[in-house]
Amino acid sequence: MLTEAVINELRSIVGRENVHAGPAELVAYSFDATFPQHPPDVAVTPASTDEVSRIMKLANRERLPVISRGAGTSLSGGVIPLTGGIVMALTRMNRILEIDHVNSCALVEAGVITGEFQTRVEKEGLFYPPDPSSLAQCTLGGNVACCSGGPRCLKYGVTKDYVLGLTIVLADGQVLEWGGKLMKNVTGYNLAQLFIGSEGTLGTVTQMILRLVPLPKFRSTAAAFFPKLTDATNAVVGILSEGILPATLEIMDQLTINVVEQYAQIGLLTDVEALLILEQDGNDQGAVQREVEVMAEVCRRFGASEVRVAKDAAERDQLWRARRSISGALGRYRPSKLGEDIVVPRGQIPAMVARVKEIGQQHGLAIPVFGHAGDGNLHPNILFDMRNPGELERVQAAAADIFRAALALGGTLTGEHGIGTLKKEFLEEALGPLGVQIMRDIKQALDPKGLLNPGKMFPTPGGSALESFITALPTLEGMTPG
């Protein structure tokens, strides 16, 4: 139980000013980028692995839930303290400790902001590719916990492909150092990969050794507009069959384009059904330009009415700013949204996009689709207003249909946002009972008291998808949705 004595112990570990227990402070730690909300009993902001370890020892002794938190940009309800407990926010652990050119890696603390890290290494001619659209806010620790991706992951891979070593504080406070500045390492089970994507349910990541690659010298970006959505989805498959691996291959449907254009006003065509953003990078400028031209030609062949190649870095940045603003811009259309993150085999993208459109019509909901078409990772966003009676139930039914459609096409529930609260009741449909049982056994071995991020990832025994969806809702009174 969280007594005044426990709060005083926390104060003695992290300092009085880093224990946050007032009602207004707790609100700041009660939500993420989805709509559920619940306050913790207390929030702490430790400054070192040792402090995290001492907090965990205390929580373990007192059997208190602990929710590790980065910037709170989770899109799965993953960081909400559903049953209270201690939120442990790693935001003060924000030092880039070393950039090692010889070994092409960096030693960082978990609370470093992803975009700040990228800017810093790029100044030194190095490159850290994983680029979630939230990179101006999210933390590297959160990225590891969710195995985040982004547009560049088609060519460069996701967060897990860049983690060489981790420092992890376990549920009982022990500190595990795993891996090192090693490009190859098959000594024992790959425990680092077990923690990556575990959404704070197995341990708290406090430091990482991240692999860096040389910064490509040239980039070229193009926007291809398609009067027909199906032509755009077919063009994705066409481009990837040309023997080119683009740095990015992103799709936006018409509603997404319109909302983004209203917000960003950069002259996107709005009377088309789809836009593909194509990018290539590399060290040979001519080769980069040629590959973008080939991709543009494929788009024209598949029915693009216009292809614009960015003339300079300013035009390219404008396009990417627009792409990164989608999530926020959709809020202008409806006050609430449920952003999904399904993945299908690339060849099934046309079928999946068509299914999402049908599902939207069946449930009377607007479901814009955008995402990383090149790697089959789509973000159908269900737009709604949770204040309207019955609307949330329709949203939940549409989400279930989208998950099942993805699974039927050989896909999965999530490519980068994680399971969190909102997808957990579908885990067994995706992984089968044996897969989920093995996960439960691992959780039991590492967190026998069930203290780490409780209520996330695993289906509730006897729970239904609808129940978990609705019980995750905030109290609506006095709240602005969205």
Give the interface with ligand FAD as residue ranges (CB under 6 A).
32-33, 67-75, 78-79, 90, 110, 132-134, 138-139, 141-143, 145-146, 148-150, 199-200, 204-205, 327, 416-417, 453
Shortest distance, position 138 Cβ to ligand FAD, whole Å: 4
Of 72 and 350, nearer to ligand FAD (C-beta) is: 72
Residue 323: its H or E element: helix 313-324
Distance CA 429, CA 459 (A): 11
Shortest distance, position 254 Cβ to ligand FAD, whole Å: 21
Beta strands in 291-406 (DSSP E): 306-309, 336-339, 369-372, 377-384
Residue type (1 letter), 366 = A
Shortest distance, position 380 Cβ to ligand FAD, whole Å: 14
Neighbours of 275 (CB within 10 A): 28
Of 339 and 350, nearer to ligand FAD (C-beta) is: 339
Shortest distance, position 77 Cβ to ligand FAD, whole Å: 9
Of 45 and 139, nearer to ligand FAD (C-beta) is: 139
Shortest distance, position 163 Cβ to ligand FAD, whole Å: 12
Shortest distance, position 206 Cβ to ligand FAD, whole Å: 7
Of 355 and 372, nearer to ligand FAD (C-beta) is: 372
Question: Hey, is 34 helix, strand or coil?
Answer: coil
* Cβ-Cβ contacts under 8 Å for 36 (sequence gap 6 or more): 77, 80, 82, 421, 422, 472, 473, 474
Of 150 and 360, nearer to ligand FAD (C-beta) is: 150
Q: Please, which contacts does 388-392 make with residues 24 or more away whose CB atoms are closer than 8 Å?
A: 392/469, 392/470, 392/473
How distant, in Å, are the alpha carbons of 239, 405, 459 from that of 128? Answer: 25, 34, 34
Q: Which residue has the tokens 């006897």?
A: 462
Shortest distance, position 447 Cβ to ligand FAD, whole Å: 12
Look at residues 158, 153, 112, 150 and name the one whose alpha carbon lies nearest to residue 134.
150
Of 69 and 346, nearer to ligand FAD (C-beta) is: 69
Shortest distance, position 371 Cβ to ligand FAD, whole Å: 9
Shortest distance, position 71 Cβ to ligand FAD, whole Å: 4
Of 177 and 284, nearer to ligand FAD (C-beta) is: 177
* Cβ-Cβ contacts under 8 Å for 162 (sequence gap 6 or more): 128, 129, 130, 210, 211, 212
How distant, in Å, are the alpha carbons of 126, 258, 302, 337 from that of 70? Answer: 24, 32, 42, 22
Shortest distance, position 409 Cβ to ligand FAD, whole Å: 21
Of 58 and 288, nearer to ligand FAD (C-beta) is: 58
List residues bridging with 89 in a β-sheet: 69
Shortest distance, position 188 Cβ to ligand FAD, whole Å: 21
Shortest distance, position 415 Cβ to ligand FAD, whole Å: 8
Look at residues 154, 308, 299 and name the one whose alpha carbon lies nearest to residue 238.
299
Q: Which residue has the tokens 């019955």?
A: 390
Q: Are 67 and 44 in contact (CB under 8 A)?
A: no
Distance CA 241, CA 333 (A): 36
Residue type (1 letter), 79 = V
Q: End-to-end CA distance of the chain, in Å?
A: 33
Of 163 and 296, nearer to ligand FAD (C-beta) is: 163
Of 141 and 374, nearer to ligand FAD (C-beta) is: 141
How distant, in Å, are the alpha carbons of 409, 420, 426 from that of 434? Answer: 21, 20, 14
Of 179 and 200, nearer to ligand FAD (C-beta) is: 200
User: Strand 213-214 vs strand 66-69: parallel, antiparallel, or unpaired?
Assistant: unpaired
Of 157 and 303, nearer to ligand FAD (C-beta) is: 157
Count, residues in the chain: 482
